[in-house]
Amino acid sequence: CASILWKSAERAADAAKAMGITSDRLHELGLVDKVVSEPLGGAHRDPALMAANLKLELVSALDKLQALSVEELLERRYDRLMAYGVSQG
């Protein structure tokens, strides 16, 4: 998309922001549960720290989900999927 809009793939972050597909926007829309913070300078600067942070978030989320019944999990999944595309304002 960046190469179409600005004739440069180097502006991919600008294209994502212009199209509203940033991590914060996806979180705001409920398409992702949580945005995991990257190490200073980006995940590629410290992959081990990023992996450790991601592991902590995943384990925490799975612990919460394991406490729910299958019925509750299915109901939450259904409700979430049915809410996609519904205008919130």
pLDDT one-digit tens code per residue, 28-83: 888 899 999 999 999 999 999 999 999 999 999 999 999 999 999 999 999 999 98
Q: Are 11 and 21 in contact (CB under 8 A)?
A: no
The token duo for 3 is 């190469």
Q: Are 13 and 27 in contact (CB under 8 A)?
A: no
Bigger pLDDT: 12 or 82? 82
Distances (CA, A) of 34 to 24, 59, 66: 9, 13, 18
> Would the pLDDT of 89 be above 60?
no
Give mean pLDDT, residues 5-21.
73
> Would the pLDDT of 3 be above 70?
no
Chain-centroid distance, C-alpha 77: 16
Q: Residues with Cβ < 8 Å from 11, sequence gap 6 or more?
A: 2, 5
